[in-house]
Structure 1
């Protein structure tokens, strides 16, 4: 049986895959930040009546949930448009960069206008 032909256009990730990827990245970042700030808080002020492990886990889980939620939403918002729209936008956008000759010609024209304005 011959192998299946490679698709000319690779499949973009779905919205749910983007949400899941953002949530997993945010959860990882949140766990790390929660560990850092929770450890600092415990070392600075003590663990309190619930103990070290409970206090640290509360910091880590709260931070992981917050970061995961916001990064999942942000990853969907940032990547909402299909890649074809981005390619079309880049083709239609005016170029920002100019060549040295064009920049020098524009600068020279502005100097000429400034001289004419000052002399009159």
Structure 2
């Protein structure tokens, strides 16, 4: 079983963030409408604006967070596994590791397409 690629993780994070954002936007938008009224735009327009802005914000940040929180160092890429994983890598080491992961993903994607 292969681990999802970075782009798949980004997409999953964005979808989860969108769902959470829509829910939070509905709750806070409904509360705001009940407390302050709908305003000149009307109930549906005000609620949808709140829900969409909340969904976009959550989606953006969860997509970034799910890419940053990439646990691939644990063995998904055996050729790039470090003997003793340091807490902080140098720029050159991080770039080498990132480039090796990209090459591995390209290799897997091209093998999958065949």
Query: TM (normalized to structure 2)?
Result: 0.65
1:83 Cα shift?
2.6
The alignment status of 1:47 with 2:47, answered yes or no, reads no
The alignment status of 1:33 with 2:21, answered yes or no, reads no
1:11 Cα shift?
1.0
Distance 2:64 2:20 in 1: 15
Q: How does 1:68-87 map to 2 (within 5 A)?
A: 68-79=59-70, 81-84=72-75
Counterpart in the other structure of 2:105: none
Distance 2:64 2:7 in 1: 11
Structure 1: gaps spanning 5 or more residues:
1-9, 94-120
Counterpart in the other structure of 1:64: 55
CA RMSD of aligned residues (A): 2.1
Instruction: Compare CA radii of gyration and give the structure with the larger one.
Output: 1
